[in-house]
Chain A
């Protein structure tokens, strides 16, 4: 069966964008961690995410460059990137990270939410790492060899991420009165962003049909079971509300992404093609 190139490219970008945006958020803790050891732990994890993003962007760029010209045109609508594409240039991983505007990013809203405090940071990672663990576990079986290989390599890192964030949830939830109260608040506030992780968009459906992508409905019960086990141990309660935020996978983002990209992309936008 012919696999639609555009959809495979967009699928690769979804995964890459999650990794870049969460990696960038975690990197904001560099030099600000509550203790030196955790500062290093979090920076290591941020770099794991950036490493995964790089592999995926390289793959996405290679896919893009192979497309016929008329198919390239409609994929991105960010002017800075379009300008390069119209000039006939091949794109690379840096172009994808630095020259796309918010609407071309397909990360889930959860990953772009601000760090706020240690509890919120831990909870965001806890929800995402648990998802990522089951996601990469399945993606290892992808018929796309590159994605399967990236999944296999990343899974070792993600297994540790999940262990790290789960332990912190337990530590804070089952800690002092104040730590319990604050992390429960973070869980309640971030809960509405967990539904989107399992939204099967058009791209997800097409890739699943081609045995490239992951069936998100299949991993959802694994995620729920894992989250609940940790939350029980942490003496935290699962929020009752089932109303979920969504839009990131379609390029509709919260206001936070714009500020994040402004910082992430500033140098390349102000000094195009600069290197250091």
Chain B
């Protein structure tokens, strides 16, 4: 459907068709130019249409099928996959884990990162600022896979750092199989992802804070306004836009979690660390229940779309405000 759009200018040319030759040539050249202009965006549009938008639409269709990948049989079952979803306790606990992920990430990777960035940017030596930003960013440069494996070993009961460190400071009683029991596994994964991700958002907030004119801070300092008040009256309001963006990105990211769970627990023990992404994977590619996996994908789609629309709405309202 999208692919037929670029031919529109040609329709404009055929309207001029019955006219005499010279006037016919003029719109034709015009058309050729316009068609050429499409060339700039055509590769992006085609690639996105075929590999991003088409699968998205297909997914909706797939979610209404009972689809056995081995026999190849497909049967239309309407909303039955969604009814199964509502009755599936692991779907709900997965969703809950995604929400928990979002909340913790908002606290550390958005609000914690703003505070940290403000502290770093208040240091007077440029070398220290740059050094700290860079060191904190390193976990974000190494992949979630490497970070996940690293923390798998840190949490490991026999050779892990965490239990040995607790032992060393006399808290050996607190040592436990962090990833091996339902009560701590999800939190252990979330802690790892905060460790991995806080440097990235801190860097982005630091960049936003650098754009605030330094005169504002100087004037406030002359007026004897303390650092904490400067943070609330200058920094926080002036990085508002970046904060809004990061809140959206963080929440949307929390509903797409996959990598770290897959590497550290694959959803166990006893499905306690399943998130929507891994539950989709397990149903689609381990149990070969494609229709059910597609239904889970639709839920992820609806949630991420809703978050994006909220962002658009906020952006538009802000523009009106100004």
Same complex for A and B? Answer no
